[in-house]
């Protein structure tokens, strides 16, 4: 494996600030935010930069939240700023379409990360086929990977790889995996796909294991690891790219990335535009504990404020009901149920 400048590397760090970070920003990135961040990441040596609405192509909707700026404008801007890095887009089958994918490729995207629930890889096959026809680098995301045991998850990975996926990810969307739980899933995928594809890991900080899990993922065979600057992402945020770069450097694992340049970007570019710093507060910790999709946090907080019920209680019930991405509207039902229960309890007293 080599970096963009031709030097060898052991691990590819991928940055998702401008996609997963969109959740924390309520999808309000400006074109200037994207241009400045891409330039900095590119300078630091990040070779794959993800840019879209938090829920991927076509995600700017009432259900998921509207973007401030059309994602096509942001993808084009990112592609114009990247000198060495490839711009990636996220696509959720059933939300983003093949037409959206073609448009993103025309705007300069060179990679697509196709995401499904961890048991539904079969819905991605046509999208991988089209992506390969377009000459795009292909990545598969098995979201909420904690909901599937290692062996079953590996079988889903095989479906994606057979469809044309070049790197398949264990995606800890809830930040629920703890140490060996992450490593064992990576090892199962590596054993299944062998040399036919790489394996990656995407972690969240809800239980504070994102970076530790990433190290164990590398040791189990993962060769692509996701992060976001200043941990900007859904829930308590993602594994911080700058911390990953420094950690792997300390471990003697070559990434081809300059951690000091990333830290400069955090302080001088990203922090000034962040409207909400990721934090391990009660609600985000509950997400990790209960296995709740990290992007549900803002939806739960809005419902909590509207119906005057605690956000963490909403999230506990979301976890108990095992809701998955795309069921954000069900959060309102839970909030209404909690409000009715509270009103009934008050009336009884």
CB atoms near residue 276 (< 10 Å): 13
146 is known to lie in a ligand binding site: no
173 is known to lie in a ligand binding site: yes
How big is the chain, counted in residues? 349
Q: Which of 296, 297, 280, 121 is nearest to 209 (CA)?
A: 280
- The yes-or-no answer on residue 23 being catalytic is yes
Based on its alpha-carbon atoms, the radius of gyration of the chain, rounded to whole angstroms, reads: 19
Compute CA 319 distance to the chain's CA centroid, rounded to the nearest angstrom: 19
User: Residue 89 has which token pair?
Assistant: 């887009």
* DSSP track, 275-304: SS-----HHHHHHHHHT--TTHHHHHHHHH
User: Residue 293 has which token pair?
Assistant: 């999709």
State the Cα–Cα distance between residues 71 and 302, nearest whole angstrom.
Answer: 24
273 is known to lie in a ligand binding site: no
As to burial, measured by CB atoms within 10 angstroms (0-12 exposed, 13-18 middle, 19+ buried), residue 339 is middle
> Residue holding tokens 């998921």?
64
- 137 by DSSP, 3-state: which? strand
What's the CA angle centered on 245, arms 242 and 249, to 5 degrees?
145
Q: For residue 112, what are the β-bridge partners? A: 89, 138
117 is known to lie in a ligand binding site: no
State the Cα–Cα distance between residues 72 and 63, nearest whole angstrom.
Answer: 19
User: Residue 5 has which token pair?
Assistant: 């400048």
Q: Which of 299, 262, 256 is nearest to 24 (CA)?
A: 299
Q: Which of 23, 27, 53, 117 is catalytic?
A: 23
State the Cα–Cα distance between residues 46 and 341, nearest whole angstrom.
Answer: 50
Instruction: Output the known binding site for substrate.
Output: 19-20, 173, 202, 293
**Binding site for Mn(2+): residue ranges?**
20, 202, 204
Binding site membership: which residues? 19-20, 173, 202, 204, 293
Q: Which residues are catalytic?
A: 23
């Amino acid at each position: 494996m080599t970096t963009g400048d031709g030097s060898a590397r052991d691990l590819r760090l991928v940055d998702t600030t401008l996609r997963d970070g969109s959740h924390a920003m309520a999808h309000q990135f400006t074109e200037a935010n994207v241009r400045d961040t891409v330039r900095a990441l590119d300078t630091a040596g990040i070779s794959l930069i993800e840019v879209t609405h938090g829920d991927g192509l076509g995600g700017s909707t009432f259900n998921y939240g509207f973007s401030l700026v059309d994602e096509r404008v942001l993808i084009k801007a990112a592609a114009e700023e990247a000198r060495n890095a490839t711009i990636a887009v996220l696509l959720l089958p059933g939300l983003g379409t093949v037409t959206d994918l073609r448009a993103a490729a025309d705007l300069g995207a060179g990679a697509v990360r196709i995401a499904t629930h961890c048991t539904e890889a079969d819905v991605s096959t046509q999208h991988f086929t089209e992506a390969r026809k377009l000459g795009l680098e292909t990545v598969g995301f098995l979201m909420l990977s904690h909901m599937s045991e290692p062996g079953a998850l590996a079988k889903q990975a095989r479906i994606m790889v057979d469809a044309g996926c070049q790197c398949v990810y264990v995606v800890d969307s809830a930040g629920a995996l703890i140490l060996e739980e992450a490593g064992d899933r990576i090892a199962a995928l590596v054993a299944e796909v062998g040399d036919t594809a790489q394996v990656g890991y995407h972690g969240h900080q809800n239980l504070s294991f994102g970076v530790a899990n990433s190290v164990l993922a590398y040791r189990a065979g993962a060769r692509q690891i996701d992060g976001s600057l200043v941990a900007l992402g859904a829930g308590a945020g993602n594994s911080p790219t700058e911390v990953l770069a420094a950690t792997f450097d300390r471990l003697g694992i070559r990434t081809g990335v300059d951690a000091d340049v990333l830290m400069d970007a955090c302080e001088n570019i990203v922090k000034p535009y962040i409207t909400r710093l990721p934090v391990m507060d009660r609600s985000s910790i509950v997400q990790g504990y209960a296995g709740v999709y990290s992007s549900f946090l803002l939806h739960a907080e809005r419902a909590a404020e509207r119906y005057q019920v605690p956000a963490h209680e909403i999230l506990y019930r979301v976890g108990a009901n095992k809701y998955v991405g795309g069921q954000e509207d069900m959060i309102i039902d839970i909030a209404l149920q909690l409000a009715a229960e509270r009103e009934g309890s008050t009336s009884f007293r």
